């Protein structure tokens, strides 16, 4: 869907800068003092004569190459080969470029960039322009199985990817062998897509770096899970009752761990999202089972699983933890993703079955399992809890919130599903969705994609700077993305979709 263009641009200057002498000096803006800007009909962007800004567009419009404020253009980019391919995570920068990661099998073409896997599943990392063109692409190769879970980008354009691998993995010129059944990794690439460093951690059993975030100070935070014991750069952690527990790690700008902490209990616990709070603290969200301890706070549920949000300070000390739980074994809720807005409110999404309570805010699934979003404020209180779905299985896999407080939740649904006042019906086995919600948790719009006899899913969502949604995931066979029809080359292909 196109976002309406804004008719007015903000002019950043009212007259040409004063003329200077012939000494080749510059004005306070760094331009040649004798240069006269030539904006002409441009109302935005930078003119070529002096490098002076001609103005900027409102938040819901973009500046065209001709210097006019126009509506964002929808685009759909699909990529894949003869095997199964999927994009799991996406991030955006202030210029409107997007960064995505996932896995691929066999040979794939990302624009002019060719990648060929060495193992049955390798990791791809790519940068896409605001128009949907691939700018660069690279891969994590090696003989072992690899999977990326999350991607983040900092203000310099450096890219951080987290995930896990088995056996041997090759990050640029660095070859690393897993120490156990499955090791976690965090790797940094520069703005050109070149590997700079890679951090790994492992133990005898399985570990996973679920999500990654980077602070303005350059610290990198990783949240995931570990099983039994894990060695985080010399910091040894042991899970409760040899069951998977939550893992949170802080790395400095060089990829060296400064602290690592654990949380959980005797049932499986997992962090599925991470964000940086003020003062270089960290917020996480995910799933816990039975009784789980976060610092001095314990969360409990009678169901198979509960969902949680928690905050830690800059030293890795838990300051609060709040959960969604149930009073019966058959009622359960899984927190599959988490994000945070500029006011440090936390949003958790996933799937709920039956009746659950989020600090007194009740949710009840319609049929089988429903997607949900819960908003926790900055002190851990639950503002609201909303579910969406129908009689079949519906899941929220990803969530994002833009600078205006508008949220976007993505995932998959089967059959007929209701998002507030909006009813949608899948075309195939399951269709993907990206649903907008306002500050009160009301669903205001639903974008869907799918095709007959196919499974299609949104694994990652983000907002472009002009408040256009961006969706990544996987699709099979022939799928309709808005008005664009795409057919996969193999079993499943991945996509970048800006509706």
State the pLDDT at residue 136.
98
Q: How do residues 27-49 score in pLDDT, each as one tens digit?
A: 444 444 568 888 999 999 988 88
Question: Which of 127, 62, 103, 73 has its CA nearest to residue 459?
Answer: 103
Q: Which two tokens stand for residue 226?
A: 């570990």
Cβ atoms of 288 and 299 closer than 8 Å: yes
pLDDT exceeds cutoff 60 at 328: yes
pLDDT exceeds cutoff 50 at 146: yes
pLDDT exceeds cutoff 70 at 1: no
Residue 274 CA to chain centroid, in angstroms?
10
Domains (range + CATH), the chain: 1-71 (no CATH), 72-498 (2.130.10.10)
Measure the CA–CA gap between 106 and 307, rounded to whole angstroms. 37
Q: How do residues 204-235 score in pLDDT, each as one tens digit?
A: 888 887 799 999 999 999 999 999 999 999 99
State the pLDDT at residue 209.
77
Share of the chain above pLDDT 90, in %: 83
Of residues 117 and 51, more confidence is placed in 117
State the pLDDT at residue 21.
35
Positive/negative CA dihedral, 310, 314, 317, 320: negative
Q: How do residues 67-76 score in pLDDT, each as one tens digit?
A: 999 889 999 9
Question: Which of 311, 310, 271, 312 has its CA nearest to residue 288?
Answer: 271
- How many residues would you count in the chain? 499
pLDDT exceeds cutoff 60 at 22: no
Q: What is the DSSP string of 98-119?
A: EEEEEEE-SEEEETTEEEE-SS
Measure the CA–CA gap between 364 and 16, rounded to whole angstroms. 62
Mean pLDDT rounded to a whole number for the chain: 91
350: left (phi over 0), alpha (psi -120 to 50) or beta: left
State the pLDDT at residue 9.
30
Say whether 278 sits in a helix, a strand or coil: helix
Q: Which two tokens stand for residue 120?
A: 């049955």
Q: How do residues 345-389 score in pLDDT, each as one tens digit?
A: 999 999 999 999 999 999 999 988 999 999 999 999 999 999 999
**Average of per-residue pLDDT across 140-153:** 96
State the pLDDT at residue 498.
97
Question: Which of 310, 440, 317, 323 has its CA nearest to residue 378?
Answer: 310
Residue 352 CA to chain centroid, in angstroms?
21
State the SS3 of 200-268.
EEECCCEEEEEEEEECCCCCEEEEEEECCEEEECCEEEECHHHCCEEEEEEECCCCCEEEEEEEECCCC
State the pLDDT at residue 30.
43
Mode of pairing for the β-strands spanning 146-153 and 134-140: unpaired
Q: How do residues 393-423 score in pLDDT, each as one tens digit?
A: 999 999 999 988 899 999 999 999 999 999 9
Phi then psi for 336, rounded to 5 degrees?
Answer: -100, -15
Say whether 407 sits in a helix, a strand or coil: strand
Q: Which two tokens stand for residue 204?
A: 């005898």
Measure the CA–CA gap between 222 and 237, rounded to whole angstroms. 15
Measure the CA–CA gap between 124 and 253, rounded to whole angstroms. 23
Measure the CA–CA gap between 229 and 386, rounded to whole angstroms. 37
Cβ atoms of 276 and 221 closer than 8 Å: yes
Measure the CA–CA gap between 157 and 168, rounded to whole angstroms. 28
pLDDT exceeds cutoff 70 at 10: no
pLDDT exceeds cutoff 90 at 168: yes
Q: DSSP letter at 305?
A: -
Q: Please tell me whether the overall predicted TM-score, pTM, comes out greater than 0.85 for this model.
A: yes
Cβ atoms of 137 and 126 closer than 8 Å: yes
State the pLDDT at residue 363.
97
């Amino acid at each position: 869907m196109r976002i309406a263009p804004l008719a007015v641009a903000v002019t950043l200057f009212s007259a040409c800068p004063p003329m200077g002498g012939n000494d080749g000096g510059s004005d306070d803006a760094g331009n040649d003092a004798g240069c006269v800007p030539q904006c002409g009909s441009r109302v935005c962007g930078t003119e070529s004569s002096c490098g002076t800004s001609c103005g900027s567009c409102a938040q819901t419009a973009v500046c065209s190459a001709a210097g006019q404020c126009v509506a964002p253009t929808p685009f759909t980019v699909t990529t894949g080969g003869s095997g199964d391919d999927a994009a799991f995570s996406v991030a955006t920068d202030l210029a409107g470029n997007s960064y995505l990661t996932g896995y691929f099998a066999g040979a794939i073409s990302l624009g002019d960039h060719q990648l060929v896997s060495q193992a049955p599943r390798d990791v791809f990392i790519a940068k896409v322009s605001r128009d949907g063109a691939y700018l660069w692409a690279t891969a994590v190769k090696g003989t072992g199985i690899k999977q990326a879970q999350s991607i983040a980008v900092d203000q310099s354009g450096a890219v951080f990817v987290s995930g896990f691998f088995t056996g041997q993995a090759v990050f640029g010129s660095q070859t690393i062998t897993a120490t156990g059944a499955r090791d976690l990794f965090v790797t940094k690439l520069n703005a050109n897509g070149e590997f700079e460093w890679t951090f790994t951690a492992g133990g005898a059993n399985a570990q996973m770096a679920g999500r990654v975030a980077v602070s303005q100070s350059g610290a990198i935070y990783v949240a995931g899970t570990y099983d039994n014991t894990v060695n985080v750069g010399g910091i040894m952690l042991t899970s409760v009752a040899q069951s998977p527990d939550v893992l949170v790690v802080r790395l400095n700008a060089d990829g060296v761990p400064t602290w690592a902490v654990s949380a959980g209990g005797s049932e499986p616990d997992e962090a599925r999202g991470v964000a940086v709070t003020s003062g270089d603290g960290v917020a996480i969200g995910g799933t816990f089972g039975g009784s789980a301890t976060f610092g001095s706070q314990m969360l409990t549920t009678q169901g198979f699983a509960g969902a949680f949000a928690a905050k830690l300070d800059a030293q890795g000390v838990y300051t609060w933890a709040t959960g969604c739980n149930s009073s019966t074994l058959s009622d359960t809720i899984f927190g599959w993703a988490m994000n945070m807005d500029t006011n440090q409110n936390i949003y958790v999404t996933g799937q709920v079955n039956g009746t659950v309570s989020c600090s007194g805010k009740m949710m009840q699934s319609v049929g089988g399992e429903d997607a949900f979003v819960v908003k926790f404020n900055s002190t851990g209180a639950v503002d609201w809890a909303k579910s969406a779905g129908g009689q079949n299985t519906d899941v929220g896999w990803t969530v994002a919130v833009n600078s205006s407080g508008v949220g976007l939740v993505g995932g998959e649904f089967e059959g007929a599903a209701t998002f507030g006042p909006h009813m949608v019906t899948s075309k195939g086995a399951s269709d993907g969705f990206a649903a907008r919600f306002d500050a009160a948790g009301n669903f205001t719009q639903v974008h869907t994609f799918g095709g007959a006899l196919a499974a299609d899913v949104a694994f990652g969502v983000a907002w472009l700077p002009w408040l256009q949604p961006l969706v990544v995931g996987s699709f099979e066979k022939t799928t309709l993305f808005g008005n664009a029809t795409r057919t996969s080359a193999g079993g499943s292909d991945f996509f970048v979709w800006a509706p």
